[in-house]
Amino acid sequence: MKILVARDYQHMSRLGACVVTAVLKGKPNLVLGLATGATPLGLYRELVKLYQEGRLDFSRVTTFNLDEYYGLSSSDPHSYHYYMEENFFRHINIRRENIHLPPGQPGDVAAACAAYEAAIAAAGGIDLQILGIGRNGHIGFNEPGAALNARTHLIDLAPETILANARFFASIDAVPRQAISMGMGSIMKARRILLLASGRDKAAAVAAALEGPVTTMVPASLLQLHPGVTVVLDRAAAEKLHSVVKGGGTWPACC
């Protein structure tokens, strides 16, 4: 596992964009796994900027998002479909047919989840999966105790996740209680993983994930078993780590 500690959120975002750029340059038909939430917003801004400067081309890229709230339509401003469109897709030259997110309102949940996994497999699997981390150590919406080998499925959100995500809704009551998410098994199959975390409120989860025991009670700790993980943290999120030289690490060549 390679851990980079950035100065601040913007620097973390730039380093994350460097990692994505390096992988995309090496494989123009990249299959990219995407996350939502507050953390990757800066990364998407950086990638859009690189595209606008003519330095990145998404025309052959295929994307699969980690998750979507169950019950929200894709036009709902709180949906991850909407988030991705607003913050990334409409600003780059990705082909519409190459964009995939779990459906928020599937008629048949099991069939939709199986179809999502089949689409990932048909694309050749995920080359690079971007992840954020929840304060309880979740990745995607795989909450503490998530099954190790689970694939895309319907998940009950943990109370702390509902509380954390209430900041994006008018009230906590408006936060959906369930989501369709790639499972831990889907995430661990990605060839490479880029985990981003920013802010002091993530420091405990980051330390538990990177230096604690590997346990399903901290889903992100399973990443310790993955051979291709790069972690980019800002200083605040790295605060509780013991083994990392803050401000150290080997920066990607483009940074």
Which residues are at the interface with ligand F6R (CB under 6 A)? 35-39, 66-67, 132-134, 138-140
CB of 237 to ligand F6R, least distance (A): 10
Query: Residue 161: how many CA atoms within 13 Å on its side-chain side?
Result: 22
- Of 81, 100, 138, 153, which one is the catalytic site residue? 138
Long-range contacts of 57-61 (CB under 8 A, 24+ apart): 57/28, 57/93, 58/92, 58/93, 58/94, 59/93, 59/94, 59/95, 60/28, 60/29, 60/30, 61/24, 61/28, 61/29, 61/30, 61/31, 61/32, 61/94, 61/98
- Of 65, 98, 136, 142, which one is the catalytic site residue? 136
- Of 127, 143, 165, 234, which one is the catalytic site residue? 143
Which of residues 40 and 249 has its CB atom nearest to ligand F6R in the complex?
Answer: 40
Residue 109 vs residues 38, 84, 97, 106, 179: alpha-carbon distances, Å: 27, 22, 21, 6, 11
Annotation marks residue 143 as catalytic: yes
Annotation marks residue 67 as catalytic: yes
CB of 201 to ligand F6R, least distance (A): 8
- Of 46, 67, 68, 117, which one is the catalytic site residue? 67
Which of residues 5 and 107 has its CB atom nearest to ligand F6R in the complex?
Answer: 5
CB of 53 to ligand F6R, least distance (A): 26
Annotation marks residue 136 as catalytic: yes
Which of residues 58 and 64 has its CB atom nearest to ligand F6R in the complex?
Answer: 64
Q: Which residues are catalytic?
A: 67, 136, 138, 143
